């Protein structure tokens, strides 16, 4: 079941990125679900790919320690030649992975902060 805050996040990302929004996957320590998938994306292999991405996200170690002057890890962005992944952490074991077209990387830092606010407001 998709929580209301995740529905709001999907609407927000869709409005902001339009055709550049590919997928959104929410995850917890032992579960995950695709909460958005653009209609024109091929369905073959998508479950396996999503499972792989979630597993790598769970295993990801932040670059800085939790007690660093930077504060707690909140999100990360991986920029590729043809796409962008944004991981927004909701807790130590849960979060959302957004997949976007490369064009969505314009003003990306501000976009990520706004996504975090949408999830925070909704809790």
CATH number of domain containing 22: 3.30.450.190
pTM: 0.84
Contact status, residue 77 vs residue 101, Cβ threshold 8 Å? no
Number of domains in the chain: 1
pLDDT tens, 48-105? 899 999 999 999 888 888 788 988 888 999 988 889 999 999 998 999 999 999 888 7
Domain extent for 24: 4-122
């Amino acid at each position: 079941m998709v929580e209301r805050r995740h529905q709001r996040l999907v609407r927000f990302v869709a409005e902001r990125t339009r055709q550049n929004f590919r997928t959104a996957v929410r995850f917890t320590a032992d579960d995950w679900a695709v909460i958005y998938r653009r209609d024109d994306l091929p369905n073959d292999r998508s479950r396996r790919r999503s499972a792989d991405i979630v597993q790598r996200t769970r295993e990801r170690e932040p670059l800085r320690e939790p007690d660093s002057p930077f504060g707690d890890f909140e999100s990360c962005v991986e920029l590729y030649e043809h796409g962008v992944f944004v991981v927004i952490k909701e807790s130590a074991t849960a979060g959302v992975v957004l997949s976007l077209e490369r064009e969505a990387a314009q003003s990306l830092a501000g976009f990520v902060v706004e996504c975090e606010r949408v999830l925070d407001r909704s809790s």
